[in-house]
Amino acid sequence: MAPLNQVPAWYPLRSVTQRIALTSVEQLPRIVPSLALTISTCGGLLAEVDGQSHKKNQSDAAVLIHKLKTQLSTLLQDKSREARWSAVVLVKAIIEAGGWSVLKESEKWVRPLLDLIGVSGFNDSQFWQSCLYTFLQRPEPATTKKLSILTLTRIFLLTQEHPTLIREITTPSLPTFIANCLRSFSDGKAGYSDSLLSSVLWAFGELLPHHPSAFRPFVGQIRKLVLPLLAPTPSDLPLDDATSDPTGHSVSETTIQRAQQVFVLVNGCAPKNAQSQEWAQAFSDLLEQTHETADL
C-alpha cells in the first residue's frame, strides 16, 4: 500500500465521481453533503488544472474534472427532483471551490453536452445557469428554487472581479434571472413560500448595488412586490408557510428587513441625473399608500 503522502491529489475527485455513478438518483440527496464537502477541499486542484497539461497527474485530474462536470450537467436535466436538487448543491460546491477555473470558458469540455440539448455558445457555468433558470419557471420544490437562486447569485457575484466574465455571463444572464424571480410572485399565484420570497429579496439586495442598470426595467415590478412588505399585516400575503410563522405574521421579520433594504436600493437604478426625482417619487408613493392604509 502506498504511503499517504503519495496519494494523488485527484483521488478525492475520483471518489466523488464514483459515488455519483454508483448511487441511484433517489439516494443521491443522502450523500450530497459529503460530496459537496469533498469538492470544497479540491479548490487548489480545480484552479491549477486547465485541461491542457501533459503531466500525468494533471492529465488524470483533468479527466476527472471533465467527468464530474458531465455528471452534473446530466443530473441537472434529469427527470427526478432528487437528481436536480443534488445537482444544484454540487454545482454550487464546485463553483465556490473552483472560482475562475470553473467560471471561465471551457468549451472543449462542455460543447458536446450543449449539442445534446441544442444549445451552443455557453461555457460551463452558463450551461448550468440555463438549467437553473428552468427550475425557476417549472413547479419545482421551493428548496430547489432557493438553492438555484443562491447558486446563480454566487455565480454573478464571483464574476465581479473579472470584467470579461461580467460581459460574457452576468450582463446577458441577469435580466432573465430577475424576470424569473419576479414571475414566481406574479399576480394569480395562489400562494408562495416566505423563505423563497426572502431568498429572492436577498439576491436582489446583493446584486442591485453592482448592476443597477440591469434592474432598471424591473423597478416597477420590484416596488410592487416590496411595498406591501414594508409593514405588513397578517392578511397581506397568502404565503404557503404563513401558519408556521411563530410570530403569527404572514411574512418573517427577515423578509421584512430585506424588503426594506431592496426598497431603498432600487432607487439607485435611476440614471444619475434623475436619482433625486426617483427618491422624491418613491417617498411620495409611500406616503400616499400610508394615508390609504390609515383611511381603511
Can you tell me the distance from the alpha carbon of 207 to that of 188, in angstroms, rounded to the nearest whole number?
27
pLDDT top residue among 58 and 225 = 225
Q: Which of 112, 126, 231, 128 is nearest to 171 (CA)?
A: 126
Instruction: Look at residue 261 and tell me whether its pLDDT is greater than 90.
Output: yes
Q: What is the model's pLDDT at position 37?
A: 95
What 3-state class would DSSP assign to 192?
Answer: strand
Span 214-241, average pLDDT: 77
Can you tell me the distance from the alpha carbon of 210 to that of 189, in angstroms, rounded to the nearest whole number?
30
> What b/e readout covers 252-281, taking b as 16+ CB neighbours within 10 angstroms?
beebbebbbbbbebbbebbeeeeeeebeee
pTM of the model: 0.78
pLDDT top residue among 225 and 9 = 225
Q: Cβ distance 150 to 136 under 8 Å?
A: no
Q: Cβ distance 192 to 239 under 8 Å?
A: yes
Q: Cβ distance 91 to 151 under 8 Å?
A: yes
Q: What is the model's pLDDT at position 22?
A: 94
What 3-state class would DSSP assign to 41?
Answer: coil
What 3-state class would DSSP assign to 206?
Answer: helix
pLDDT top residue among 72 and 282 = 72
Q: Which of 132, 142, 130, 248 is nearest to 185 (CA)?
A: 142
Q: What is the model's pLDDT at position 54?
A: 43
At residue 176 the predicted structure's pLDDT band, cuts being 50, 70 and 90, is confident
Can you tell me the distance from the alpha carbon of 201 to that of 185, in angstroms, rounded to the nearest whole number?
12
Alpha-helical segments (H) within the chain: 11-22, 28-40, 43-48, 56-76, 81-98, 100-103, 107-117, 124-137, 142-158, 163-165, 171-183, 194-207, 212-215, 219-226, 253-265, 275-295
Q: What is the pLDDT of residues 27-77, one digit of tens each?
A: 999 999 999 999 999 888 887 765 444 455 567 888 898 899 889 888 887
Phi, psi of 233 (to 5 degrees): -105, 165
Span 76-84, average pLDDT: 84
Alpha carbon 272 to its chain's center: 29
Q: What is the model's pLDDT at position 27?
A: 94
Within a 10 A sphere around the Cβ of 73, how many other Cβ atoms?
21
Q: What is the model's pLDDT at position 155?
A: 82
Q: Cβ distance 197 to 239 under 8 Å?
A: yes
Instruction: Look at residue 162 and tell me whether its pLDDT is greater than 90.
Output: no
Residue holding cell 435580466? Answer: 175
* pLDDT above 90: percentage of residues in the chain: 24
pLDDT top residue among 30 and 122 = 30
Q: What is the model's pLDDT at position 117?
A: 24
Instruction: Look at residue 90 and tell me whether its pLDDT is greater than 60.
Output: yes
Half-sphere exposure of 26 (CA within 13 A, CB side): 0
